[in-house]
């Protein structure tokens, strides 16, 4: 952990063992875009993010993804193209020795008011239904206010990275100052691993 990581002193989780961890996709693992990530060519990992996932895997964590993908409903790309984007992600992750258990996504438009689009907790609850994960003992790493809202609604422990929309969210929503903040996924993963090491000692 570096001095640029901000951890509220009240955030003490040393006794919790967390075999699962949930990540947002855009802005956390790969660079985000206001124009959406519409093709494999537009999907590019943030430096260190794939290695961070692989490191979590090696430490025994099962990594799951929960991502809003309203570009499907907006007609910017279809489910087949989304699969191709995720195939590139999984392939590049495998090249550094990492893997994810599954990618959960919401394809709906915000106007549809579905239960799975973050900040609603539907994606996280679907994960809990399928996997033996205790959400109250699980970190959810995101880069936006809606990620934090979804984590809290589902009972997860939110972590905020300042890549993607993270820095703007922190400036816009002062309540995020109470959420542990990290420069990127690599630093957030180091914090998660440090919690596991303390627990195991």
Catalytic residues, which ones?
A: 24, 26
What are the residues whose beta carbons fall under 8 Å from the beta carbon of 45, sequence distance 6 or more? 29, 30, 31, 89, 92
Could you give the 3-state DSSP secondary structure of residue 170? helix
Nearest to 17 by CA among 180, 128, 181, 157: 157
Whose tokens are 């990530």? That residue is: 37
Pairing of strands 139-142, 20-23: parallel
CA distance 60 to 49: 17
140 within 8 A of 158, measured Cβ to Cβ: yes
Burial of 125 (0-12, 13-18, 19+ CB in 10 A): middle
Cα 39 from chain centre: 20
């Amino acid at each position: 952990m570096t001095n640029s990581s901000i951890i509220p002193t009240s955030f003490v989780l040393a006794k919790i063992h967390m075999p699962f961890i949930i990540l947002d996709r855009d802005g956390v693992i790969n660079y985000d875009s206001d124009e959406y990530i519409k093709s494999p060519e537009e999907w590019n990992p943030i430096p260190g993010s794939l290695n961070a996932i692989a490191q979590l895997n090696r430490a025994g964590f099962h990594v799951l993804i929960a991502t809003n993908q309203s570009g499907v409903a907006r007609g910017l790309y279809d489910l087949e193209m989304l699969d191709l984007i995720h195939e590139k992600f999984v392939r590049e992750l495998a090249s550094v020795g990492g893997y994810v258990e599954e990618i959960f996504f919401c394809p709906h438009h915000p106007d549809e008011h579905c239960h799975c689009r973050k900040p609603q907790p539907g994606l996280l609850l679907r994960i809990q239904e399928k996997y033996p994960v205790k959400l109250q003992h699980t970190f959810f790493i995101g880069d936006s206010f809606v990620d934090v809202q979804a984590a809290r609604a589902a009972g997860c422990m939110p972590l905020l990275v300042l890549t993607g929309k993270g820095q703007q969210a922190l400036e816009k929503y002062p309540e995020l100052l109470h959420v542990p903040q990290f420069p990127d996924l690599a630093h957030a993963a180091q914090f998660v691993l440090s919690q596991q090491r303390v627990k195991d000692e």
